[in-house]
Structure 1
């Protein structure tokens, strides 16, 4: 492997810089020597030959752009000289055959999980407190304040101590000493936890449930039903005002649709029926505490790896994400699928240009047509408000080499590996089939991870090249860096480093197997993810308006 440059696919007409390359530097590719016209930072791309204006740009063997102006051999690709362009797509056009990876290493392995009556297995055990409408957020916050510290789920706040020190110095006339203070991380222990078999009590505050369009309230109820049914959830307390659009009856209807035999405990209280705020809160707190006593009786026991449902997410992506972290996660996904488990690939704006490949991987025409229809509807909704999938890459993506949405998407899709598509889910639909599932969500990190948890994921793999702290209230999020520089810079956020793929020290299959070994440890409660340690409980429901 040339450790300076990489051609990802034989059809590609651009090369990726694996390290910073200087203007005038000569690089050898095959029989050709290319002189660089520009400085090419690591992760960026440069042309292998002269590209004429209007000529298509190929990466990953797919169309990822079109030259807006002539690009000479060795010229860097930028947003100034390349425009978004993507492959078109239609109906399923071929049968798909997949050679599953070798799973002998994992065949007999299990994880220690929480077995639910419906056959699902949780990798954690949480109690939820959910407001059906934003009017109840304050009451939820009061319950949170009452419970978290007393039950031993809070951790020391070093920054509170910092402020206390600063105030003391200021009052003593020692303002100049404030800059010298150092924040020391405090060790987190669970010795004071009252409930040893409960991982936490989580509070899903939001700004929805009333106002807006009725469809948003229905979708919110469907999302909450998915969270209640998620195998990582032991039970829930639901607070309702009474007059809002998101009615308890809608929640129950959505819950029945997901799981007609739902048997977990849940407490539903309506403020307009309960009386005073004190009466509502006292009853909610007492009932929640009693519910948690029962939830604490459940203990971890062995479960086959087929009980894993893995969400596949990327955020803060860079030019290495599609070369290292994403294909490594894709191999882990294939391993899980081959073992009889389930994976979920979301972020539909970041599947732009790879639709036909995914359509051809669909197990039947019905599933393929559903995916095609959802993609076209979403794209049309974006264009109707003056936007489009082409506007998806963020400033950070562009700065680190992802200059078109098709370029970003071709790398992002690698998280889905090569297994057949077993099913396609609209937003807030719950997984029903083992294998790779495509879930319609925005590319927004938190809206997407929020949705995957609502569709039944019990672990989420999250790749990043730039660094993002995203987590989830009830599903462990394993953060995977595309490069070693990032992993060393923010070790408090990154769980796994796949930078060895870029340097040639590791192969994609090796990293994929390492990821699955790590999943097993997290699923068994042996390791807490960095996002969980930081209490990164991100929760943003998607309003079915446009969100890219």
Structure 2
């Protein structure tokens, strides 16, 4: 079956999306329209199917996404030169949103093998976590990391060290090194080197905060670090403190314990200004942590219902196919998870610009809706105060690959959240406690968003991308979902799932969404190790609540 050349996403749209490169002069037949393209239209880009004047509305996904800067004709390509961002104003209206949950019979009774915590949470991984209270301890953290990673089998740099040694040996022998090929190590190779089979990793939250900023910055950082310490994927914590910083070690420990009434994970604290030397501090941190790793390794994976999953949905390096393939497929996964009683976390508030009314209408009550509106409006106002705004969110890469306005990008991005009701709206670092779809206030920035999503309790993150991005997270396995097959082939070392079959018409969005959930179950059970985890892509950037899009 021949692949479609173009599609209309919603019957109200006055643009079509090219599914493959279309040359100027290509004959287009759409419903009662027959016309030639007036411009070359690359795959992922859009072209108009109406003659429009200046400041006329352009609709995509059935909503306003922009207004024309000057007259355009049927067959013209949509560009930043002829369209600017526009979105409808939003407000609360009691629409009594009705949702029909999808058929989940395929997954009813299914389980995943996770790590059960005493408070009832279930982790998809088992990590020991190192936390510095202040950036002054980052160097000590790096030294400890190198020592523990290399000796306990968690380093991914061994293969590069071996390859470098091979090159060096050949060079010293006067041999030609141009034919020395590098071979990729398998997940089984990495696992075989682990000393502790039931500990998935030792993670380090290096950051640039804890002192020198405002006291409010330190409070936000404390809440973030405490959320990570309480995360279901974390089994124990080592804290390194200098001693004189804003974020005091005892305050951090108190914040950690305040997040859970029955917190019982081991916490080790080392303060450098009280230690007899830096060497002693590092040595004691290594020794005492090792002793606790022996105990943590005794915890084994056991079956848990899928309702214990908390899945964050994220997009980054988006393209013109994101809202057509990967995002709606993940949206199907999200709806299945909600139907099974699990939690789904949708963040990136700058990337909900243009999709606000849909989210408001889906909120379960007025209180939740108004909290969402307040967070959106105050965040956007901050951006405007420094000469920016949500409308400036699309990156050069987004625009180059067909996301011309923020409303186009955001409306496609919102598809990741599926169609279920919004059960809660969470500010940054607030924990998700309700099963269902939760909105989490974070920037759109890939790392800041995944950092915040894990803080709210995501135990897996589905990360869609059309351009490719190596983003991961220290404690929450990140699964990369490609919007197109070309990317999945070219960057196969970072992509886990390819949804390009949707673009080619080979599979439906519903079929791929179910396949993604099957993949999630295997990752949650430790049967599959996502590429970001294999590569130790442990990205962590705290948000200081400033302007970040």
TM-score (norm 1): 0.97
Please give the alpha-carbon distance, in whole angstroms, between the structure 2 residues aligned to 1:524 and 1:120: 15
| Structure 2 residue aligned with 1:35 | 36
| Structure 2 residue aligned with 1:473 | 474
TM superposition shift of 1:168: 4.9
Equivalent residues in 2 for 1:452-471, closer than 5 Å: 452-471=453-472
Deviations, residues 364-390 of structure 1 (Å, cap 9, x unaligned) = 111111100000011011111111111
Residue 237 in structure 1 maps to residue 238 in structure 2: yes
TM superposition shift of 1:134: 0.3
TM superposition shift of 1:190: 2.3
Residue 184 in structure 1 maps to residue 173 in structure 2: no
Unmatched segments (≥5 aa) in structure 2: none
Please give the alpha-carbon distance, in whole angstroms, between the structure 2 residues aligned to 1:2 and 1:67: 30
TM superposition shift of 1:169: 5.5
The answer as to whether partners of 1:461 and 1:478 remain within 8 angstroms in 2 is yes
The answer as to whether partners of 2:156 and 2:535 remain within 8 angstroms in 1 is no
Please give the alpha-carbon distance, in whole angstroms, between the structure 2 residues aligned to 1:238 and 1:350: 34
TM superposition shift of 1:362: 0.7
| Structure 2 residue aligned with 1:3 | 4
The answer as to whether partners of 1:118 and 1:261 remain within 8 angstroms in 2 is yes
| Structure 2 residue aligned with 1:315 | 316
| Structure 1 residue aligned with 2:536 | 535
The answer as to whether partners of 2:462 and 2:480 remain within 8 angstroms in 1 is yes
TM superposition shift of 1:93: 3.5
The alignment yields a C-alpha RMSD, in angstroms, of 1.5
The answer as to whether partners of 2:21 and 2:41 remain within 8 angstroms in 1 is yes
SS of match in other structure, 2:151: coil
C-alpha distance 98-114 of structure 1, shift in aligned 2 (>3 A): same
The answer as to whether partners of 2:5 and 2:20 remain within 8 angstroms in 1 is yes
Please give the alpha-carbon distance, in whole angstroms, between the structure 2 residues aligned to 1:530 and 1:212: 35
TM superposition shift of 1:178: 4.5
Equivalent residues in 2 for 1:351-430, closer than 5 Å: 351-430=352-431
Please give the alpha-carbon distance, in whole angstroms, between the structure 2 residues aligned to 1:47 and 1:254: 55
| Structure 1 residue aligned with 2:49 | 48
C-alpha distance 499-2 of structure 1, shift in aligned 2 (>3 A): closer
Please give the alpha-carbon distance, in whole angstroms, between the structure 2 residues aligned to 1:89 and 1:409: 15
| Structure 1 residue aligned with 2:547 | 546
TM superposition shift of 1:284: 1.3
The answer as to whether partners of 1:445 and 1:470 remain within 8 angstroms in 2 is yes
The answer as to whether partners of 2:153 and 2:190 remain within 8 angstroms in 1 is no
| Structure 1 residue aligned with 2:65 | 64
Please give the alpha-carbon distance, in whole angstroms, between the structure 1 residues aligned to 2:251 and 2:12: 51
TM superposition shift of 1:250: 3.4
Please give the alpha-carbon distance, in whole angstroms, between the structure 1 residues aligned to 2:278 and 2:32: 78
Please give the alpha-carbon distance, in whole angstroms, between the structure 1 residues aligned to 2:449 and 2:409: 16
The answer as to whether partners of 1:107 and 1:339 remain within 8 angstroms in 2 is yes
TM superposition shift of 1:193: 1.8
TM superposition shift of 1:321: 0.4
TM superposition shift of 1:410: 0.4
The answer as to whether partners of 2:154 and 2:190 remain within 8 angstroms in 1 is no
C-alpha distance 123-57 of structure 1, shift in aligned 2 (>3 A): same
| Structure 2 residue aligned with 1:112 | 113
SS of match in other structure, 1:310: strand
Deviations, residues 18-52 of structure 1 (Å, cap 9, x unaligned) = 11111011111112112100000000000001111
TM-score (norm 2): 0.97
Residue 267 in structure 1 maps to residue 302 in structure 2: no
SS of match in other structure, 1:33: strand
TM superposition shift of 1:469: 1.1
Deviations, residues 297-348 of structure 1 (Å, cap 9, x unaligned) = 1001100000000000000100000001000101100110110100100000
Equivalent residues in 2 for 1:118-137, closer than 5 Å: 118-137=119-138
Please give the alpha-carbon distance, in whole angstroms, between the structure 2 residues aligned to 1:460 and 1:422: 19
| Structure 1 residue aligned with 2:15 | 14
TM superposition shift of 1:94: 1.4
TM superposition shift of 1:199: 0.5
| Structure 1 residue aligned with 2:328 | 327
Deviations, residues 229-283 of structure 1 (Å, cap 9, x unaligned) = 1111111101111111112343234324421221111112211122311222222
The answer as to whether partners of 1:129 and 1:140 remain within 8 angstroms in 2 is yes
Please give the alpha-carbon distance, in whole angstroms, between the structure 2 residues aligned to 1:207 and 1:358: 34
The answer as to whether partners of 1:87 and 1:354 remain within 8 angstroms in 2 is no
Please give the alpha-carbon distance, in whole angstroms, between the structure 2 residues aligned to 1:266 and 1:345: 31
Please give the alpha-carbon distance, in whole angstroms, between the structure 1 residues aligned to 2:162 and 2:232: 37
Return 138-147 or 110-119, whichever deviates more.
Answer: 138-147
| Structure 2 residue aligned with 1:74 | 75
SS of match in other structure, 1:150: helix
The answer as to whether partners of 2:3 and 2:504 remain within 8 angstroms in 1 is no
TM superposition shift of 1:196: 1.0
C-alpha distance 513-226 of structure 1, shift in aligned 2 (>3 A): same
TM superposition shift of 1:195: 0.9
Please give the alpha-carbon distance, in whole angstroms, between the structure 1 residues aligned to 2:383 and 2:237: 35
Please give the alpha-carbon distance, in whole angstroms, between the structure 1 residues aligned to 2:419 and 2:255: 32
Unmatched segments (≥5 aa) in structure 1: none
Task: Give the total of aligned pairs.
Answer: 546
The answer as to whether partners of 1:258 and 1:430 remain within 8 angstroms in 2 is no
| Structure 1 residue aligned with 2:495 | 494
Please give the alpha-carbon distance, in whole angstroms, between the structure 2 residues aligned to 1:41 and 1:200: 43
| Structure 1 residue aligned with 2:139 | 138
